[in-house]
Amino acid sequence: MTGNIRAPLREVIARHGLSASKALGQNFLLDAQLLDRIARVPGDLRGASVFEVGPGPGGLTRALIDAGATVTALERDHRCLPALAELGDAHPGLLRVIEGDALAMPLADVLPEGGHIVANLPYNVGTALFTGWLSGEAWPPRWASLTLMFQAEVAERIVAAPDSGAYGRLSILSQWRSEAKIAMRVNRAAFTPPPKVMSAVVHIVPKLAPEGVRAGTLERLTAAAFGQRRKMLRASVRGVPGALAALEKLGIDATRRAETLSVEEFVQVARELG
């Protein structure tokens, strides 16, 4: 249907001179089937609002519109805007394009309450954006789900379980009040140009936040614990007021190292700290 009236992405890229910029983390996805699969990860998007960071030439944007979403797309590279304007013209009322920096954009300005965030993130700013979306005391967040492409190594850290090298601050931030899973792995060859590393799409859905735990406290605790991850907790969290007493009260052996504590145990300690 609508796909037929749209030019192939390679042609759009050539016509608008969108040579990939390394500084902007540009690795484009051009395979329509793969893009459709990514757009299906959040579930049924018919009638849903989606915020997309970095639409580039608009491949994922097309797939999201085809899945029935209304998309707000924020792109830093002004060269992409004419190509995105064409896409908007082909789908009146379904695409709003904003030029700007996602790191400086308040989420409330681009995402209606209950909308989804879907993005093939620029690698250089992906983790900073992600941790920003997961932080803050208010929960549930305004987003209903995150569907994000990361370097595979970062995706592994997000979903990691205790007692693994990948387990750390990012795992706890991602899991203490959300469900996080790897929805699909994406070969580097799928991108133009191919990045050096493999990628994966992570899917995150908020869950009920544990009661009586402040996000800031948990963040300070995990920063200390994993800041010196090879050390025993009794040394690494010594600088966090009340942490050693909380470990003792909870019966958590202070000679353990941070990576052996479950997410639930970190949550319990943070709750004790208030």
* Residue 166: CB minimum distance to ligand SAM, A: 22
Binding flag, residue 103, ligand SAM (CB under 6 A): yes
Determine how many CB atoms are found less than 10 A away from the CB of residue 114. 12
The four Cα atoms 121, 123, 128, 133 give a dihedral, to 10 degrees, of 20
* Residue 106: CB minimum distance to ligand SAM, A: 13
| Among the listed residues 235, 233, 205, 237, the one whose alpha carbon sits nearest the alpha carbon of residue 220 | 237
* Residue 28: CB minimum distance to ligand SAM, A: 4
Q: How many residues are present in the chain?
A: 274
The amino acid present at 135, given as its one-letter code, is S
| Among the listed residues 148, 145, 204, the one whose alpha carbon sits nearest the alpha carbon of residue 171 | 204
Binding flag, residue 101, ligand SAM (CB under 6 A): yes
Q: What is the gyration radius of the CA atoms in the chain, in angstroms?
A: 21
Residues 6+ apart with CB under 8 A from 55: 61, 71, 73, 74, 75, 80, 84, 97
Binding flag, residue 125, ligand SAM (CB under 6 A): yes
The CB-nearest residue to ligand SAM is 54
Name the strand (E) or helix (H) holding 107. Answer: none
Q: Is 186 in contact with 149 (CB distance < 8 Å)?
A: yes
Show the binding pattern over residues 152-171: x = contacts ligand SAM (CB under 6 A), - = does not. --------------------
Residue 90 or 98 having the CB closest to ligand SAM: 98
In the list 12, 13, 26, 217, the residue contacting ligand SAM (rule: CB under 6 A) is 26
Binding flag, residue 53, ligand SAM (CB under 6 A): yes
In the list 27, 72, 145, 217, the residue contacting ligand SAM (rule: CB under 6 A) is 27
In the list 67, 84, 102, 170, the residue contacting ligand SAM (rule: CB under 6 A) is 102
Binding flag, residue 24, ligand SAM (CB under 6 A): yes
* Residue 39: CB minimum distance to ligand SAM, A: 11
Binding flag, residue 75, ligand SAM (CB under 6 A): yes
| Burial annotation 150-183 (CB, 10 A radius, 16+ → b, else e) | bbbebbbbbbbebeeebbbbbbbbbbbbbebeeb
Size of the site for ligand SAM (CB under 6 A): 23
Q: Using CB under 6 A as the criterion, which residues of the chain lie in contact with ligand SAM when the complex forms?
A: 24-29, 53-56, 59-60, 74-77, 80, 101-103, 120, 122, 125
